[in-house]
């Protein structure tokens, strides 16, 4: 747990609160909660998320490379294996339920928003160390847990079969996913508490940029459902 007199993940959020809210409470998220999101918006998001996950797996490969001891190596390798062996397969199955086949996924052109976000994360890790990489990944890893918690607390959110996006909500609100996000948060709190102020400020910039790129990713999805566009 982060203590109030120490900087941690919460301080990263406080450093870019308006961007963080724009991400966590984005219209894409709200409409997903209401169940009113245009299915094409969701499909576009799912397709690009497949490409996102491929680069996300590469980011864990980079984390393996940037690891400096056996603990870090094991943690990074476990994450890499989880995404490659498990989560990619689940995503492919989920896409199939939305009428998106594996063949289509394999041939997808990458949207600029996907390129921007994933390459930003990989560059942050490449030029920095393991902490820079984790901070660049934090909006993704911890953000989705926060988004799910926020969503289920809103009165407009529809749960159960009446919402076509129930599976998405239930995956990210699941105790397993929430616990994994908490592990990441604890790791980050512990690392951030040891950083000098200038170093923290540089990390906060990376966090804010990655958060803004997540906003763009939602907006990309929303735009794809705009029939007038
Ligand atoms: C654009 C985008 N941002 C974040 C996530 C969430 N996410 C991707 S991989 C992962 C780790 C464990 O599954 C999490 C939480 C996403 N799917 N797409």
Crossing angle of helices 143-152/166-173, nearest 10°? 120
Straight-line distance from the first to the last Cα atom of the chain, in angstroms, rounded to the nearest whole number: 45
Look at residue 5 in the predicted model and tell me its pLDDT: 62
CA–CA separation, 90 and 112 (whole Å) = 25
Look at residue 89 in the predicted model and tell me its pLDDT: 96
> Catalytic residue among 24, 140, 146, 209, which?
140
Given a cut of 70, the residues of the chain with pLDDT beneath it are 1-5, 228-229
24 assigned to active site: no
Q: Is residue 229 part of a domain?
A: no
The complex's ipTM works out to 0.95
pTM over 0.90: yes
Give the tokens for residue 39: 């299915």
52 lines ligand 1 (CB under 6 A): yes
Q: Is residue 222 within 8 Å of 30, Cβ to Cβ?
A: no
CATH classification of the domain holding 79: 1.20.910.10
Cα 46 to Cα 39, 53, 90, 167: the distances in Å are: 10, 10, 12, 13
Q: Is residue 12 part of a domain?
A: no
Q: Is residue 7 part of a domain?
A: no
Domain total of the chain: 1
Look at residue 227 in the predicted model and tell me its pLDDT: 76
50 lines ligand 1 (CB under 6 A): no
- Torsion-angle region of residue 160: left (phi > 0), alpha (psi -120 to 50) or beta? left
């Amino acid at each position: 747990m982060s203590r109030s007199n120490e900087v941690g993940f919460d301080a990263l959020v406080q450093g870019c609160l308006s961007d963080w809210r724009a991400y966590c409470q984005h219209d894409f998220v709200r409409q997903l909660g209401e169940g009113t999101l245009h299915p094409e918006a969701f499909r576009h998001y799912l397709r690009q998320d497949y490409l996102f996950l491929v680069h996300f797996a590469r980011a864990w490969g980079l984390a393996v490379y940037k690891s400096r001891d056996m603990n870090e190596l094991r943690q990074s390798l476990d994450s890499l294996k989880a995404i490659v062996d498990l989560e990619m397969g689940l995503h492919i199955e989920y896409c199939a339920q939305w009428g998106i086949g594996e063949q289509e996924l394999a041939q997808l052109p990458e949207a600029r928003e996907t390129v921007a976000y994933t390459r930003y994360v990989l560059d942050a890790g490449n030029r920095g160390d393991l902490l820079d990489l984790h901070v660049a990944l934090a909006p993704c890893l911890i953000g989705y847990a926060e988004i799910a918690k926020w969503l289920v607390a809103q009165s407009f959110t529809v749960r159960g079969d009446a919402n076509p996006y129930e599976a998405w909500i239930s995956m990210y609100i699941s105790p397993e996913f929430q616990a994994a996000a908490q592990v990441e948060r604890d790791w980050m709190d512990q690392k951030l508490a040891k950083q000098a102020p200038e170093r923290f400020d540089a990390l906060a910039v990376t966090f804010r940029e990655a958060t803004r790129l997540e906003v763009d990713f939602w907006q990309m999805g929303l735009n794809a459902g705009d029939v007038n566009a």
